[in-house]
Amino acid sequence: MLQKSNEKPQIQFWRNSTRENCHFLRRIQSIYRRFKWKMSFKQMSTCRKNTVCAFVWTSCTFCLLMHSSVDIHWSHVTTTPIYTTKSIQNMQTLNNVVKQRLYVGIWKYCDMELQTNKILGCFKTAELFGGVMSEKEIVIPEWLMLCWVFMFCGLVINLMSVFNLLYSIYTNSRQRLWQFLIQGFVTFFSLGVVILYSFKNSDYNNLQMADGGSDSNISFEQHQHFEVSERFALNFYLVLLAGCISMANLIKLTLNLKK
């Protein structure tokens, strides 16, 4: 009798644990099926499609901004000599004994000697903006224009998503309101980037030195690599932030398994 009473709880415990494991496996299987269904682009809702498209556009814009910056930190060195205000001052001070050119990126700027292509030193770009160059940034204007087109398309997609959420916000108020707030933030940052690009100054022919003199030693082709835009780094971080928010929204919509 004692032996049977001892075995009975063990058998019952084994049955309960088996049922719990089976229930857990069924739960994982159902989550996987729902996740797989939600990842199908054709079966996505309009809101989710707009979110995916906005994230793809933002990611592509981020990559274009990375490419458009001539940055030593990312081993992106152009072969075209780029003369800046600091380089011209060094040439005049040293009477052309040591000619330098300056590469500016989002995080670093470096002085290089023209004869040997030797890097004389690299410093933080923030110090350069606050000191010698004020609001000058070296970028590739063609890529910036393409970035503007990408950001404008992303803004249109985000606006479509916002209007779609406003139209369907009364069906499921809590879920739709959360999506509307996140999508509104993405649209706000996208609009900010488009506005900043629209008001950039691109007057290459009237580039002035720090002392107010005219810059006559720089050809027009070298001017094409100049972009007078103090806000380029801000645009870069705004696009990065918009991409992170859009990615969070995409994960939120994909993993939302509630019907």
Of 7-11, 109-113, 125-129, 190-194, the one with minimum mean pLDDT is: 7-11
Residue 111, token pair as written in the block: 């002085």
d(CA 186, CA 162): 10
d(CA 99, CA 88): 8
Categorize the per-residue pLDDT at 187 as very low, low, confident or very high, splitting at 50, 70 and 90.
low
Residue 221 has pLDDT above 50, yes or no: no
137-138 and 226-227: which strand pairing? antiparallel
**Domain parsing of the chain, residue ranges:** 50-74+141-208+225-258
Cα torsion angle, 76, 82, 83, 84, sign: negative
Per-residue pLDDT tens over the stretch 98-154 = 555 555 555 566 666 666 767 677 666 556 555 444 334 444 555 556 666 666 666
Of 3-7, 31-35, 42-46, 72-76, the one with minimum mean pLDDT is: 72-76
Give the C-alpha distances (Å, rounded to integers) separating 216 from 28, 81, 177, 198. Answer: 70, 15, 58, 28
pLDDT (0 to 100) of residue 204: 30
Residue 225 has pLDDT above 50, yes or no: no
